[in-house]
Chains A and B, each alone.
Chain A
């Protein structure tokens, strides 16, 4: 007999009307089991069931059953709110562990509801939020269940969302892999917690949990503490680590310091550094040799005293008993090192060495540009200078300038200003000799004063660029220069320089100095002053903003207003909701320039948050404002808000990129450029491609620059469109009939594409997903070049070297090999442009090639070796390292051509890289540490600075990068003029006196 199918619930529904309670119960429980099938029928009887639920005389269980039934029916009807409220009535009958759509949906709904109530309560600071206890019970049951089932990530997500920090803590502490969950939680709190204060709370909790662990993860704790801006916590951790007997702890401390430095939070770092306690009894003798330790050995001896030093290494030295406690001596030594790291000097020094030694920039490109650019066209002329500066940013290689002094001297007035400032970009981070390098151009205090104000202003600006965000040593000098002049060009340069050097320090005295300049109401100086104030106050959300706003309303000069507008925007950097009042004020202003500033304020306050509200507002302004400037900026600002999720940007601005308004198109191009910088994202390139051949010249300019930003460090093997783009740039530059604007764009794009000797990328986020404040600020000011070309140099702030630099305990770079498990061609440098027939041109590139080919040749040789030896035999590579490397060095100059010859061989699927090595972002996932290597990294990181633990400390170490590289590193280049910068980079003694290269005919 066939199983009987039930065709209707009518009978059961009728039973509900029976008088006998047992019948009702029977009906309810049966209905409950068949509701999934018969809900349409039951839905007509919902009122009856509801009345059962409300019937006070009814048994509790029955009422809950009725509630559950109604809830299910409402769920099927799509009335989730009603469904939820009845499910709450069903209390314990609502089984959170049931695996059905109904339960899943309602749980999600309940959690959403709860989270929204909680967050609303938190936002309105209403302590006694009236949350339905039943709702709370359900959510808690869910959380408990997740924790029981081991779904800790889910539990944490819900707990964070619902602001249940107690549950969050429980989830973390009960999880089986606390480290993993904690790092997951940090990630989550950065990417999904929108409100700043709440995020702080979460992080504070995390720190608490971390500290309870038996083996705390100091790296993560310190990251959290940095976000919370609690230097004291970091200080105590660092001190503990430094005082430890174990060398590994000290290594860890150094690593912590490097990681902190990477986030470029200058004020915080200075705070930490200054709070580190001095050794109890500091033996002055013991300190002296160390303080002048790795970095500043030479500069102490010869450089002028005004140059940056490790500021307080010796300052605290008191004459005390020489025979001090050995542990104190050790601490003192480590302290000096860590101070060096925290001040950023160590990393800057190493970066500089890396960029110098790996410089692969192609002078031929510049030469081509130079030749094709018309002499008279000053825009393209200075664009070439900018391009050169960007290409060599941080490499200290100024060959091009030195070789083309005549050509350079055509720069007059402001062009001269930027030409001089360009030196700052090239020597960026050259802290020790920055001042002496720029000395010839600096204003000579009263004496003679032969230089033109333009080059003097430019030099001050250059000093700022060199010391950007690490301006401890130079601040005073810049202040003096600012005060002692009343030439507005010099004031302009000094203001910018000062702003850069004192980035984010909120120094009151400097602020007052700059304010005085502002109040002279001179357009040129005032603009720089406005920006500079912003730089000084970055992210402080200080009261100064309203002061600036008032002045912006008073002054007549548009330039000043614009400078101030940007400055105000900078002050609210990263403040998110806190900035809303100010943003509101600015975006409603009558003056389009202030509204334009409001866009920047939105961009910076919400930078990298992908906050929906901000995006909505920006999109609104992008289509509704009357001023083209505001619309352009609004679109551009989207790039800043979205840079943490670059995949989103092309989608969001794709419509805007087809706008009829060229300003909007321009903004769209730059927005993509900013947020997708260095990613090589395919969608971004597809979006920009049509814009590079737009009908309007400035759109082409923006698109070319944006494209270059996206494609930086991507080579043709990765995306064939890079090659196309390079050819397009060349074509535009060579084309006589091309508009100046787009020509300038193409020249700049060439510079950005090969920025920093092809060893840097544009990165707005650090590896721990923190904003890199300098980089963001740099790009924001850079995007102002629309009005003021010299601001182009700010882009150099966003460059970060793509390198893996391993360091030993002495913060030296030992020879250390690791594996890149991908085809070498995927990530290699772009091939140098082929040389046209000119003979002079041939010479130059080969000179560069010899140095750079070395790394490649070495790598190639290694590969060959590797193929021969079985991997197992690799144990002896490190021991044999010394002999081998020296032999290679001999071969270097001869092997210039070997890469080309070896092309014929089938490409290996991996590559051995030698510390320090260029590791482009896309390559990071392929980086592996060889298992039997002598060194083990303290933390596993594919790029940046990594401290290495020496497993065989007794063996002699071979250093790859040394302080005096000129002899070992570039044997071939020592003779060529092209590498003069090398000497200056490393050893002062050999520094050729910076001649007066630009004898301007003023």
Chain B
């Protein structure tokens, strides 16, 4: 076997060991080393050159990126997740016909959907969804994310929060936590628009906090513009509604006049 490939597989083994050891610093370091080494393989995307070991190399690279994605969840790094996921994606899409299916594929796709939901990137969420096959949609991991999105859109936030209990994979936990926060942001966004002010009780209830203290902290951290006084939360400061667009009347008048003038001059 190609010595380079052997080297990569050895390093990958060490990485896997480090993950189980939960030695995340070593992990990231090794991972970055692996990635650099992978750039040396010409069979990998975006070149996809046909080499004798290409299938092997592709599989190995896919495994590495899958681990990278999962690792990023573990170290709770969303940016790294996104980066690694995108690098992994070509192995699922473009190299689909050449590789045996990966057991982790749906888990990771589901995670990605969840991530988009958490980041409230609904448009991208649906784009990703469209790209999936119907069989993939049947998969519990995917289904879970889809259902969450539906509840989220409907405003059935309680269902979103309760879904935390039946996650298809333990890695989902991290995102479910985050989702709760997203839900909260959503609610607060709506409240800002809908109300001038709310009583602290109602606000707490609405934002699904258990205590006033939590509400106070939340408002201090996320919405410093909120004012809490007299037992009510005032949103109006945030209501600096954009001034409605002014009609460029002077310009229009000028234009019309010049048209009229031109008309008079018709040759």
Bound-complex Cα distance A30 to B79 (A): 22
Bound-complex Cα distance A480 to B206 (A): 112
Bound-complex Cα distance A653 to B132 (A): 63
Hey, what's the 0/1 contact readout for A1-33 against B, CB within 8 Å counting as 1? 111111111111111011110110010001000
Any chain B CB within 8 A of the CB of A383?
no
Chain A residues near B88: list those with CB within 8 A.
11
Contacts A18-B83, A622-B267, A655-B267 supplied; 17 other A-B pairs, CB < 8 Å: A1-B97, A1-B98, A4-B97, A6-B45, A6-B90, A7-B93, A9-B46, A10-B90, A11-B45, A11-B86, A11-B90, A14-B84, A14-B86, A17-B79, A19-B32, A23-B35, A26-B39
Given A11-B87, A14-B87, decide whether A34 and B46 contact each other with a Cβ distance below 8 A: yes
Q: How far apart are A757's CB and chain B's nearest CB, in angstroms? A: 41
Contact: B84 with A4, CB < 8 Å? no
Given A4-B98, A660-B267, decide whether A11 and B39 contact each other with a Cβ distance below 8 A: no
Q: How far apart are A788's CB and chain B's nearest CB, in angstroms? A: 28
How many chain A residues touch the partner (CB < 8 A)?
Answer: 34
Residues of A within 8 A of B (CB): 1-15, 17-20, 22-23, 26, 30, 34, 622-624, 655-656, 658-661, 664
Partner of B32 from A3, A13, A14, A18 at Cβ < 8 Å: A18
- Closest A residue to B37 by CB, please name it: A22
**Residues 1-54 (chain B) with a chain A CB within 8 angstroms:** 32, 35-36, 39, 45-48, 50
- Closest B residue to A631 by CB, please name it: B267
Any chain A CB within 8 A of the CB of B74?
no
Q: 8 nearest interchain CB pairs?
A: A14-B86, A4-B48, A26-B39, A14-B83, A10-B86, A11-B87, A6-B46, A659-B267
Chain A residues near B85: list those with CB within 8 A.
14
Contact: A4 with B95, CB < 8 Å? yes
Chain A residues near B87: list those with CB within 8 A.
11, 14-15
Bound-complex Cα distance A8 to B86 (A): 10
Which interface residue of A4, A623, A655 has the most chain B CB atoms within 10 A? A4
Bound-complex Cα distance A993 to B46 (A): 101
Bound-complex Cα distance A26 to B46 (A): 11
Interface SS of chain B:
helix
Q: How far apart are B29's CB and chain A's nearest CB, in angstroms? A: 10
Any chain A CB within 8 A of the CB of B184?
no
Bound-complex Cα distance A622 to B95 (A): 69
A selection of 16 A-B contacts at a CB cut-off of 8 Å is: A3-B48, A6-B46, A8-B89, A8-B93, A9-B46, A10-B86, A10-B89, A11-B45, A14-B84, A18-B35, A19-B32, A22-B39, A23-B32, A26-B39, A658-B267, A659-B267
Any chain A CB within 8 A of the CB of B82?
yes
Chain B residues near A3: list those with CB within 8 A.
48, 50
Any chain A CB within 8 A of the CB of B245?
no
Chain A residues near B267: list those with CB within 8 A.
622-623, 655-656, 658-661, 664
Contact: B90 with A8, CB < 8 Å? yes
Q: How far apart are B128's CB and chain A's nearest CB, in angstroms? A: 11
Contact: A23 with B36, CB < 8 Å? yes
Chain B residues near A10: list those with CB within 8 A.
86, 89-90
Bound-complex Cα distance A281 to B26 (A): 106
Bound-complex Cα distance A20 to B36 (A): 8
Chain A residues near B90: list those with CB within 8 A.
6-8, 10-11
Given A8-B89, A623-B267, decide whether A14 and B82 contact each other with a Cβ distance below 8 A: yes
Bound-complex Cα distance A411 to B23 (A): 120
Bound-complex Cα distance A656 to B95 (A): 66
Contact: A12 with B83, CB < 8 Å? no
Q: How far apart are B28's CB and chain A's nearest CB, in angstroms? A: 9
Any chain A CB within 8 A of the CB of B177?
no
Q: How far apart are B108's CB and chain A's nearest CB, in angstroms? A: 14
Q: How far apart are A6's CB and chain B's nearest CB, in angstroms? A: 5
Q: How far apart are A715's CB and chain B's nearest CB, in angstroms? A: 36
Chain A residues near B83: list those with CB within 8 A.
14-15, 17-18
Bound-complex Cα distance A10 to B93 (A): 12
Which interface residue of A13, A20, A655, A664 has the most chain B CB atoms within 10 A? A20
Which interface residue of B45, B47, B267 has the most chain A CB atoms within 10 A? B267
Bound-complex Cα distance A624 to B83 (A): 64
Contact: A7 with B94, CB < 8 Å? yes
Any chain A CB within 8 A of the CB of B265?
yes
Contact: A20 with B97, CB < 8 Å? no
Chain A residues near B48: list those with CB within 8 A.
3-4, 6
Chain A residues near B84: list those with CB within 8 A.
14
Bound-complex Cα distance A22 to B32 (A): 10
Chain B residues near A20: list those with CB within 8 A.
32, 35-36
Bound-complex Cα distance A659 to B79 (A): 69
Q: How far apart are A730's CB and chain B's nearest CB, in angstroms? A: 34
- Closest B residue to A34 by CB, please name it: B46
Chain B residues near A13: list those with CB within 8 A.
86
Q: How far apart are B126's CB and chain A's nearest CB, in angstroms? A: 16
Contact: B89 with A11, CB < 8 Å? yes
Bound-complex Cα distance A11 to B45 (A): 8
Q: How far apart are A955's CB and chain B's nearest CB, in angstroms? A: 66
Chain B residues near A661: list those with CB within 8 A.
267
Partner of A623 from B32, B47, B265 at Cβ < 8 Å: B265
Bound-complex Cα distance A839 to B46 (A): 98
Chain A residues near B98: list those with CB within 8 A.
1, 4
- Closest B residue to A624 by CB, please name it: B265
Partner of A5 from B50, B89, B94, B265 at Cβ < 8 Å: B94
**Residues 66-113 (chain B) with a chain A CB within 8 angstroms:** 79, 82-90, 93-95, 97-98
- Closest A residue to B35 by CB, please name it: A23
Q: How far apart are A663's CB and chain B's nearest CB, in angstroms? A: 12
Chain B residues near A658: list those with CB within 8 A.
267
Bound-complex Cα distance A22 to B89 (A): 21
Bound-complex Cα distance A664 to B267 (A): 9
Bound-complex Cα distance A7 to B46 (A): 9
Bound-complex Cα distance A34 to B79 (A): 24
Bound-complex Cα distance A658 to B266 (A): 11
Q: How far apart are B52's CB and chain A's nearest CB, in angstroms? A: 13
Chain B residues near A26: list those with CB within 8 A.
39
Which interface residue of B32, B46, B84 has the most chain A CB atoms within 10 A? B46
Q: How far apart are B95's CB and chain A's nearest CB, in angstroms? A: 6
Bound-complex Cα distance A661 to B79 (A): 72
Q: How far apart are A880's CB and chain B's nearest CB, in angstroms? A: 65
Q: How far apart are B165's CB and chain A's nearest CB, in angstroms? A: 33
Q: How far apart are A45's CB and chain B's nearest CB, in angstroms? A: 11
- Closest B residue to A22 by CB, please name it: B36
Q: How far apart are A423's CB and chain B's nearest CB, in angstroms? A: 43
Bound-complex Cα distance A15 to B44 (A): 14
Chain B residues near A14: list those with CB within 8 A.
82-87
Q: How far apart are A531's CB and chain B's nearest CB, in angstroms? A: 31
Given A11-B89, A623-B267, A656-B267, decide whether A6 and B35 contact each other with a Cβ distance below 8 A: no
Q: How far apart are A72's CB and chain B's nearest CB, in angstroms? A: 16
Bound-complex Cα distance A661 to B86 (A): 70
- Closest B residue to A33 by CB, please name it: B46
Chain B residues near A8: list those with CB within 8 A.
89-90, 93-94
Bound-complex Cα distance A12 to B46 (A): 8
Q: How far apart are B176's CB and chain A's nearest CB, in angstroms? A: 24
Chain B residues near A23: list those with CB within 8 A.
32, 35-36, 39
Bound-complex Cα distance A3 to B98 (A): 10
Q: How far apart are A747's CB and chain B's nearest CB, in angstroms? A: 31
